[in-house]
Amino acid sequence: MQIELGSSLPPGDPHGVSVSLPLWQDTVGWAYRDEKVLEKLNTGYPRFFVPRIVRVLAQQVVQHISKSKFANTLAKIENIDDLDALLVPGKAMAMVCLEHLQNTIKDDTFGAFVINHSGNIHPLEFHTGEGGDGTSEIFAVIFRGSSSKGEPKALWQHTGYGICSRCASYWLSTATWTKASHEPDVDMPTTISSTKAKTKLRNRIADLLCSEEQTVSGNDVWLFHTGMSAIAYSAHLVSGKRKERPGVAVFGFLYVDTFKVLSHIHGFTCTLYNASDTDLDQLEADLKADPTRYEALYLEFPGNPLLASPDLIRIWKLSREYGFAVVLDDTVGTAVNLDLIAHTDIICTSLTKMFSGACNAMGGSLALNSKSKYYSQFKAKLDTVYLDTYFPPDAVIMERNSLDFAERVKMANANSELVVELLEKNSKVEQVYYPKGSPSQSYYDRHRREGGGYGFLLSIVFDKPASAIAFYDALEVAKGPSLGTNFTLSCAYTLLAHARELEWAAKYGVVEYLVRISVGIEDPEDLLGRVRKALAAAEEAA
């Protein structure tokens, strides 16, 4: 049975972080902004789709400012209905958004304000506070919707700075100046309980990252309200060491927003390498030709969606020789399966994914390697400018969701291997991308923990487009954006992430008709039965 188009995932959860796209054509419609599809979406992945409740609050903010003594700031705007707002929890985040919009939309005017829970408004430049977890004040960057050229949406998606749906719900149901009729659906924890939850999260992440050779302290882990905001913050840490427009090596085909936040938002000159040994040879040659070329190298281990694992030890040696930081995203591999901290300077993780598993709360983390030569520099910077933006209810839910993280990873590992074995036997399947059995498995195995597996994520290329579409449409699992859910979740990955750059993505092996599956913790026989049924449909496709 398919979940209805546009329904939240999990079904019925107003704070679910995925949305059902049950048919291939639904994803095509989403990717190319077909109004017939878009109008049916009740929700979406919170960075790809600004939650409706956040949009409601944004309009309330615009109306509130337009009726205040600061309305003259917006005097050039003839139609107040054309105004919109980016809502973020911190002043520094608002400054990044404001400066980016001013630099990219030069023919427009903008306003930036902070609003507290009582409705008091202050212009951003005169506000001395830095913001926080979204409970007492929010920051609004006002822009004209009709001439924004999609830049506010890009900021929202690429940086992960935007407030969460629970934060918006809290403001709409408790702030006296909002006029929206909204029933409370957020349990606000006490300061003590949310602080305890965040401490437990930091310590839990630190314990997972530890190995026999190296310990990690909870004091070397920082929490963020989204995974992408952790990546964006890492960019602040590694920038400014060298050139005016610093260079970054992007090794392997990274998650779309990592590449774009580095290049589009932070202005790095990014050089993209595939995850092969040949590309590593090229990286070394480039470094020999220009030893100060890169401030940092970003990679995922393994990559998404092709699950390749680069030679991390060789990368680490090059980084020590040529003086660049290694920033690694371990979301797909997980610290349960892999021991990576000794060969990275920074590890970023999207807690929204398997760490949570429940698909109902956002979060991210950044951890430092205490033995890194950059540790003191990065630690000092974080201790000085870090702002806790994690909305308390999300943190409490994340702490509860992650209690059994290790056990769930192991269950998903086992299920994934069974699914891969089944897929590889089918004549319609041209290739399965998975760490086990891949050409780069030896590099993965170097870092695999005792008892660790090969993860929950796999991608499939079929013999022809019709087979891929038939398989996807017939697969009776949840389908939509995101990964790392307790329930199996599939998507037409390339259309979701690269619909407007299909030829470019194909150059790196990410073809249009690739099907990605994030395997869950369901009963294995039931899951295999669903996959067999979908394969049968692929075999019957014309």
User: What are the pLDDT digits (tens) for 58-90?
Assistant: 999 999 998 888 777 665 556 677 789 999 999
168: helix, coil or strand? helix
CB 136 within 8 Å of CB 24: no
CA 151 to each of CA 24, 144, 229: distance values in angstroms, whole numbers, following the listed order: 28, 11, 17
CA atoms of 80 and 68, how far apart (whole Å): 13
CA 266 to each of CA 13, 137, 241: distance values in angstroms, whole numbers, following the listed order: 34, 26, 14
Q: Tell which residue, 386, 356, 343, has the closest CA to residue 209.
A: 343
CATH for 405-541 is 3.90.1150.10
Residue type, 374: Y
CB 265 within 8 Å of CB 248: no
Domain ranges (residues) in the chain? 52-174, 191-402, 405-541
CA atoms of 252 and 298, how far apart (whole Å): 9
Per-residue pLDDT at 25:
98
Element (H, E) at 492: none
Per-residue pLDDT at 255:
78
CA atoms of 273 and 275, how far apart (whole Å): 6
Per-residue pLDDT at 44:
75
Cis bond before residue 393 (omega within 30° of 0): no
Per-residue pLDDT at 524:
99
CB 489 within 8 Å of CB 483: yes
Residues of the chain with pLDDT under 50: none
- Beta bridge partners of residue 73, listed in sequence order: none
Q: Which residue shows structure tokens 């001439």?
A: 147
| DSSP letters spanning 74-120 | GTT-S-GGGEEEEEESBHHHHHHHHHHHHHH-TTS--EEEEEETT--
For the stretch 117-156, pLDDT in tens is 999 999 998 898 999 999 999 999 998 876 667 888 888 8
Per-residue pLDDT at 184:
66
Q: How many CB atoms lie within 10 A of CB 11?
A: 11
Per-residue pLDDT at 405:
99
| pTM listed for this prediction | 0.95
CA atoms of 235 and 503, how far apart (whole Å): 28
Element (H, E) at 56: helix 52-66
Q: How many CB atoms lie within 10 A of CB 376?
A: 11
Q: Residue ranges of the alpha helices (H) in 290-391?
A: 312-322, 375-385
Q: Give the β-pairing of 296-300 and 247-251.
A: parallel
When computed from its CA atoms, the radius of gyration of the chain, rounded to whole angstroms, is 23
CATH architecture assignment, domain 191-402: 3-Layer(aba) Sandwich (3.40)
CB 206 within 8 Å of CB 217: yes
CA atoms of 36 and 17, how far apart (whole Å): 21
Per-residue pLDDT at 151:
86
Phi, psi of 388 (to 5 degrees): -75, 105
